[in-house]
Structure 1
Amino acid sequence: MEMKETTADERPAKTAEEAVERLREALRGVGIILPSLRIDPVSGAHGHPYALVDLGRCNIGVASKLAAALRVKGGDA
């Protein structure tokens, strides 16, 4: 059985800030900007390792682009 080497992007983020930044960059890479993307202020208040990421709100155009990008990545295009 061949072992697949994981890249830095495939490894779990060590901090909530890192997770949000990786997500922001990945979304930007497919032309999607979620203006409200942030760390949830309540769960992330004390640097909790399992802080929630708040994706925020977006308009239907952005939601449609996000769905299309996920379908392409998942092979359902």
Structure 2
Amino acid sequence: MASNENPRHSVDCIDEAEDAVNNLRTALARSGITLPSLRMDLASYARETPCPLVELGRCDVGTVRMLAAVLPKERGAAR
């Protein structure tokens, strides 16, 4: 890590990503949707300065249809 970087930066990025995954999992559950592979991408931790990626994973066609049904139909309609 470069000496001028904030040592908490990596920890904060990981915490933020984990919170985002948990929030998405909760929001999807409210709509009755489960993405079995939703998790942190462990390979993204391997960088010198981790910047985590989220693995949305694979799902079946029924889950894809449920996702499409609950997403806003118009551009800009998301909260």
Query: TM-score when scaled to structure 2?
Result: 0.65
- Residue identity (%): 48
Per the TM alignment, residue 45 of structure 1 is displaced from its structure 2 partner at its CA by 4.5
Aligned length: 61
Contiguous gaps of at least 5 residues in structure 1:
1-13
Give the RMSD, CA atoms, in angstroms. 2.4
Q: State the TM-score, normalized to the length of structure 1.
A: 0.67
Larger % of helix: which?
2
Please say which structure displays the higher CA radius of gyration: 2
CA deviation profile, 1:3-24 (whole Å, cap 9, x unmatched): xxxxxxxxxxx52111100000
**1:18-56 CA distances to partner (integer Å, 9 max, x unpaired)?**
1100000000011100010000111134783x3111000
Deviating 4+ runs (over 2 angstroms): 44-48, 71-75
User: Which consecutive residues of structure 2, in runs of 5 or more, have no partner in the other structure?
Assistant: 1-14
